[in-house]
């Protein structure tokens, strides 16, 4: 087990500096354009693939970093560049985590490479969990998967929403109900391979922020996938459902569903994204306060501005520490006995909203215009308190974990 540390080693620092250079030289110059276009920045993803950032190998190296700091470090630097473009680069990772969390070794080896493609032909993947009537309330999920034993196929019907890369993805990972009587414990995850008939893109959403990231509905109309596309396999699913039925008869709980397993694994990474956006806004505000003069002196000489910057930096560092702690715990198999993953996302996402708002205030009228990036950063920051579990859901998870109540 790696010891928890707040100091990156030389190799990690080298990777951090490399990512920071890409974010500064490639992502930032393109950020305003793709925010206005509200389209997937394929050329930037292509550049990321060419240098090795958008690849299975890179994310695997960071994911299996024994200190746990590889992924949060990478997320912070890329989202420091721009949240919308960065999400387009890393959005495939949520689907990959879904396969890593629930799939067999064969499924991992077969499908994750197809999610990324290669430098000459980049692909993306989508994780499809939320539905029009089932966001935070995963027990209300209606997308249904029925097993056709004669053909060894699963037939999936339903509508997914808020899917990053939904409809444009090469591979879709879909969470569906296989046993309605078990509620959220009767869910399973499925791979929908490229070109599968019956899967189509529904509405593409025009969003407040992260506009360079494609978000859309995914329609599943009698989608048939082979039995081998059930993540984890049918034997494992049958065993899990049998345990859930037995616990239900005994009045028990505590059986995790497929979507929750994915979200638990990814929440510290989302916290790191928020830290990156917050840090970017803070740095803009700090530089502005040092160079903007009013009444014959830099505005940072005013205590009201200086104290805001002091609070911003303190909150950012505290958020990073919570993210790093949760990431270290996860990679070293330490259970989140106090919902440390949710704590990290909650604090970091709320910090991003607060810090970006303060940055606009420090820049005054300039901060409210698109001539300065803090306006975009503030719009982008709103998503962190919403996706992969709202702040209210994080508080619910933390409270129920502390009290011993079941998390459904």
- Which sequence positions are flagged as catalytic? 388
Handedness of CA 23, 24, 30, 35 (dihedral sign): positive
DSSP 3-state assignment of 8?
A: coil
Q: What is the four-CA torsion angle of 242, 248, 250, 256, rounded to 10 degrees?
A: 80
Distance CA 236, CA 254 (A): 17
CA angle in degrees (0–180, nearest 5) for 241-141-174:
75
DSSP character for 146? E
Cα–Cα distance list, 81 to 31, 85, 86, 167, 376 (Å) = 8, 8, 7, 26, 12
CB atoms within 10 A of CB 1: 9
Bridge-partner residues for 142, per DSSP?
none
| Close Cβ partners of 63 (under 8 Å, ≥ 6 residues apart) | 70, 71, 100
> Which run of H or of E encompasses 12?
helix 10-22
């Amino acid at each position: 087990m790696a010891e928890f540390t707040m100091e990156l080693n030389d190799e990690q620092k080298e990777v951090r500096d490399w990512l920071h250079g890409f974010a500064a030289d490639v992502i930032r110059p393109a950020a305003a354009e793709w925010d206005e276009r509200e389209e997937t920045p394929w050329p930037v993803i292509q550049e990321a693939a060419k240098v090795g950032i958008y690849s299975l190998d890179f994310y695997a190296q960071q994911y299996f970093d024994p200190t746990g700091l590889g992924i949060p470090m990478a997320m912070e630097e890329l989202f420091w560049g721009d949240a919308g473009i960065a999400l387009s680069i890393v959005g495939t990772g949520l689907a990959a985590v879904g396969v890593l969390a629930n799939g067999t070794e064969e499924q991992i080896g077969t499908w994750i490479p197809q999610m990324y493609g290669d430098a000459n032909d980049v692909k993306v993947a989508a994780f499809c969990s939320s539905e029009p009537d089932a966001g935070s309330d995963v027990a209300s999920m209606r997308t249904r998967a029925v097993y056709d034993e004669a053909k060894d196929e699963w037939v999936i019907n339903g509508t997914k929403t808020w899917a990053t890369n939904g409809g444009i993805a090469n591979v879709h990972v879909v969470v569906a109900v296989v046993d309605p009587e078990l509620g959220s414990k009767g869910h399973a995850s499925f791979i929908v391979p490229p070109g599968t008939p019956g899967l189509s893109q529904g509405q593409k959403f025009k969003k407040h922020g992260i506009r360079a990231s494609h978000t859309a509905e995914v329609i599943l109309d009698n989608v048939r996938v082979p039995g081998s596309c059930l993540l984890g396999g049918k034997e494992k699913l049958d065993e899990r459902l049998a345990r859930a039925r037995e616990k239900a008869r005994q009045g028990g709980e505590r059986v995790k569903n497929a979507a929750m397993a994915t979200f638990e694994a990814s929440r510290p990474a989302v916290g790191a994204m928020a830290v990156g956006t917050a840090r970017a806004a803070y740095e803009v505000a700090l530089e502005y306060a040092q160079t903007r003069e009013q009444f014959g002196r830099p505005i940072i000489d005013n205590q009201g501005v200086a104290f805001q910057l002091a609070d911003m930096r303190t909150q950012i560092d505290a958020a990073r520490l919570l993210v790093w702690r949760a990431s270290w715990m996860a990679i070293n198999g330490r259970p989140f006995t106090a919902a440390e993953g949710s704590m990290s996302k909650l604090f970091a996402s709320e910090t991003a909203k607060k810090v970006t708002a303060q940055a606009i205030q420090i820049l005054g009228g300039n901060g409210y215009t698109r001539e300065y990036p803090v306006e975009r950063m503030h719009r982008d920051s709103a998503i962190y308190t919403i996706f992969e579990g709202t702040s209210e859901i994080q508080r619910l998870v933390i409270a129920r974990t502390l009290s011993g109540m079941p998390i459904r």
